[in-house]
Amino acid sequence: MAKQVKSAFFCKNCGAESSKWVGKCPSCGEWNTYVEEIITPKGKNEVLGIGVGKKVLTPVKISQIKSEEYPRIKLPSNELNRVLGGGLVPGSIILLGGEPGIGKSTLVLQNVLRIRSRKVLYVSGEESAQQLRMRADRIAGGKMDCECFLLCETSLENIFTCLKNDKPDLLIVDSIQTIASDLLESAAGSVSQVRECAAAFLRYAKETNTPVILIGHINKEGSIAGPKVLEHIVDAVIQFEGDRHYLYRILRGIKNRFGNTSEIGIYEMKEDGLKEVTNPSMMLLNESDEALSGSAIGVTVDGARPFLIDTQALVSTAAYGTAQRSVTGFDPRRMNMLLAVLEKRVGFKLAQKDVFLNIAGGLKVNDPALDLAVVCAILSSNFDSPIAKDVCFAGEVGLSGEIRQITRIDQRISEAQKMGFKTILVPKSNMKGVAKNDKIRILEVGRVEEAFKFIFG
């Protein structure tokens, strides 16, 4: 008797299952996210039989459980260790996501090539062994003194057969969207395949106490490709961000069960791989000695890490009837709000002028404390008057033109002082209880007009 083919509908956003197509997902509320997939009938194939051994567990009183810290596995990259919270936890499963070509495979490969004391299995479903060897030669410069083994395979059952025989200390899967199980009839990368394969690697990690790193792609909406349940079952979600046309990359923790998500790692893309940026302020500032109009240095904090960034603006008379607004690396709606504040509260007529804003270095900044630097850069370009190179800014601009309080003011002032700036403009209400710094002049401003008077007289 022929095997009956069964199909079901899955939500691409949350992974919810339905027997028929629905327009709005009842689980997550998203519209038009249900897709049809062929699945096997429920039976002996309902649970993938690829575990390493089933143990009968009994409940244990929480007070009887020994409280001990997991010995973390230190990776060669200090920036990656910082984002992970100190290193890899044994038995954890990490999801590393990013856009195609951003450098996810390069980041992982250059780390495993420098691990000497542990056996690493790198499973590649996208590249051949020869392609990986060519990349490894470029990254390591021909030095292959490591215990890294390559397996180019997309079948989940074949991967687990190799895992039972080799028993690695660290497993890398590149990428989870290319792995498929023979027990499911849907194509690789579908919702059911991604969910079941990730669940299988999760069981393997917990049963063998082996850390697993899954590499995943980003879809057009900017989220991890596959159902949201993939992000729920893993212990940590790390996102690799950046523009492929620029050199800098940011490693950001989205979720971390073994650490905080306020840390970021910064890398610079080189010909021989990714280089750690230990002092991002030095890399992102303008190296020119000449003071130029339309440039203001803002002190921003991404996660728990402060750094200085060059904010560039260009204001010119509109050549057409409608003024243009172009933004790179900053929220365009927030810039429009700041322009409205300048026109309504301060009296600058910018409605008939083109305004272009750029965050140098190709970074995307969402810190509200960059508002004051954006405003000053726009005014500097509007009057074609440069700002002194030893002045920096940190402050959020409110709708009434007031300068509002910001977080981590101590770290921002220390970073500006460390980079050699002589003056920093900060919100007036932010300095209560903050120790004074004799090495840098701290100018407290309460409104945009006060900052304007100080800069341009």
The DSSP string of 57-78 is -----GGGS-------B--S-H
Closest CA to 81 of 269, 302, 253, 283: 253
pLDDT at 46: 41
Using an 8 Å Cβ cutoff, are 365 and 309 in contact? yes
Count of residues making up the chain: 457
pLDDT at 346: 84
Find all residues with CB under 8 Å of 124, minimum gap 6, and list them: 132, 150, 151, 152, 174
pLDDT at 179: 92
pLDDT at 281: 81
Residue 26: Cβ within 10 Å count: 10
Cα distances (Å, whole numbers) of residue 330 to 358, 359, 373: 7, 7, 12
Beta bridge partners of 307: 300
Q: Per-block average pLDDT, block size 10, for the chain (457 residues)?
A: 65 79 85 76 44 64 75 90 91 90 91 90 92 89 81 93 92 92 82 87 93 84 63 90 80 89 86 86 71 90 87 89 89 94 88 91 87 95 91 94 92 91 91 78 92 86
pLDDT at 397: 95
pLDDT at 192: 82
Q: Cα separation of 32 and 49, whole Å?
A: 33
Tokens for 57?
């567990």
How far out from the chain centre does Cα 212 lie?
A: 19
pLDDT at 222: 56
Closest CA to 144 of 135, 153, 156, 131: 135
Q: Cα separation of 271 and 267, whole Å?
A: 13
DSSP 8-state secondary structure symbol assigned to residue 185: -
Tokens for 133?
């060897």
Find all residues with CB under 8 Å of 323, minimum gap 6, and list them: 350, 351, 352, 353, 354, 355
Cα distances (Å, whole numbers) of residue 185 to 3, 16, 154: 12, 18, 14
Beta bridge partners of 151: 123
pLDDT at 40: 57
pLDDT at 28: 80
pTM assigned to the model: 0.77
Closest CA to 116 of 92, 144, 97: 144
pLDDT at 436: 75
Q: Cα separation of 310 and 318, whole Å?
A: 25
How far out from the chain centre does Cα 94 lie?
A: 14
pLDDT at 256: 92
